[in-house]
Structure 1
Amino acid sequence: MKNSNKKYVHYKKQAAPEDGSVRAKKHLGQHFLMDENVAKNIADSLTYSGYKNVLEIGPGMGVLTKYLVKKDIDFHVIEIDSESVVYLKENYPELEGKVHEKDFLKYDLKEIFQEEPYAIIGNFPYNISTQIVFKTLENRDQIPEFSGMFQKEVAQRIAAPHGNKTYGILSVLTQAFYDVTYLFTVPPGVFNPPPKVDSGVILLKRKEDFKLPCDEALFFRVVKTAFQQRRKTLRNSLKIFQLPDELREDVIFNQRPEQLSTEEFIDLTLKIQPYAV
C-alpha cells in the first residue's frame, strides 16, 4: 500500500489518529488489512454450511467484518484491543451485544455459543496465531470450519505434507482432525503497517469422522515427543515411553518423525498404547 510506512510513523507519533481510526499496536501484533478484495475472499472462503454461528478473531477496524455482517449468520467478534472495540461499536451498530472485549486464548466460548457449533475466521495476529490453532483443536467438537490469515511460513507449516521440512507438530495435529487447504498468499503492502513477510490464508474443514481410533491424549503426546528431537529416529526420540525391545524393532521406529503421515502417527500410537502409562 502506497505510503504505508509513512502513515505508520505518523501513528507512532500520536496518541491516537485524528481521523478516528485505530492505531496499530505492535505488542498486539496488529497489521490492519487494507485490501477489500482480500477481505472479501477471506469472508467468502467459509462454506457457511451446517452451522449458523461465526466468530471473527481480532477484527481491528472491521475490513473483514463489513463482509461478514452481510452473511445470513449469527455473527460475533472477539477483540482484546479496547480502542478497536470502541471503533467497532461506533461503526457497526448491527453488532450490538456481539462485540466481546476478551482475550480469545483465555475466554470460554461456551459463554457465547453454549454447545452449538461455530466457525472461526480472522486476520490473526502473528504473535498468537499458532495458539489460536491449538485452542481450535481443543474445541474441535464445536468448530467444523476455520479460515484465517497467518504469517505465510506458519500457514505453509500447517498445510505441509509429510516428508516436507516444514512438516511438524502443528501439521500433524491439525491434519489429524481437519482437511487443510492453503488458499492464497497475501503480500505485505496490503497491510498497515506492512509486515516484513508475506501472509498466507488457509481453510480448515473438519473431517467427517474426526474421532481418532487411538487414545487422543496419547496421540498428542507421541507427536510432540517425537518432534522435540526431530533429527533422531523414533527409536531414540521415544525412549521416554520405555517400550519393550520387541516393539522397538518394528520398522516404523527406524523412521524420523517428518517421514510419518498423520495416519502413520495414529498407527504408531496404537502400537504404543498397550504399554503407555
Structure 2
Amino acid sequence: HEIPKALVSIGKKLGVEYRTDAPIARIKTKRGPAVKSVILESGEEIEADIVVSNASVAHTESLLPKPYRDHSERYWNTRKLAPSALIMYLGVKGELDSLTHHNLLFSPDWKKNFAEIFDAPQWPTDPSLYICVPSKTDPTVAPEGHENLFILVPIAARTTYTEEELEQQADRMLRLIEQEMNIPDLRERIVYKKLFSVKDFETRYNKLGGTALGLAHTMSQTSILRPNNVSKKVENLLYVGADTNPGIGMPIQLISAELALKRLIGDTSSGHLTEI
C-alpha cells in the first residue's frame, strides 16, 4: 500500500481532506443540469461545485437520475470486460524454499486459457497464476517462522459461483501449486486463508461485472471509443480511473487523473503537467 499512502501524503500537503467509510447514495443535480451535491448513505448531504469520480463510470452513472446518464444499461451489459481474479491471501507455517518474492506459472495452453477468460467464460482448466511472497524481502509482514502469500488467478469477469464452488476452485489451484512449485504439503501448512473474487470486486469496489481492472482494451473500447472523462449531460461531473481514458493499469490511471485536472484548469497542451 505504499503508493496509495504516498498519494494520500501528497494530497494532505496540498490541503486535501479525506473522508473514508462514507459511501455515496446519489449525486444531486441542480438546474443546468449541473452537479449540486452528493448524498451519503447516512443521509448527509455534501455540497459540491465539482465531482470527480474514481468509481467505475457505470456505478457513478447509476447514482444519477436516468435522464442524466450518458449510457444505457444495455450499453454496460454489452461491454467487454478485462479479467476478474480469484485472489488468495494465505498465511503459511514454515519457509517455502522453492518460491521467491515474485513467481509466475503459465498455462501450458495459452490460447485456451485466454478463450476461457474472454470467449467462452468458465473457470480456467489449466490456469496461469501469480504468487507473491512479500515475506521473502520484508520479514515484518509475517510472524517468525511463517510466510505471507498473495496468489492471483485471472478468471472471467461476470463469473457466477457459490461459496462452496469458490472454495473448490481455490483448492484446485492450491493443488496445482503444490505440484508445479514443489510444495507438496502447502495446504496442510496453511494457518490463515481469505478468498477474494468476482462478487467481492462488485460489492467492495462497485466494479461492473466484478472485473478486477475495468473495460477491456478492445478496438471498440480504446482511445476515444472509451467513455469520456466528462459527463455529456451533467456539468462539472468528471471521471478518472480504469473505465475512461487512457485505460487500465495504475500508471495509466494516474494519467487519467492528470487529464481530468487539465480539463478542469483549461490546459489543452499535449505534455504532462510540471506542477500542481
TM-score (norm 1): 0.25
Higher relative contact order structure (alpha carbons within 8 Å, sequence separation ≥ 6): 2
Q: Which has the larger helix fraction?
A: 1
TM-score by length of 2: 0.25
**Larger strand proportion, structure 1 or 2?**
2
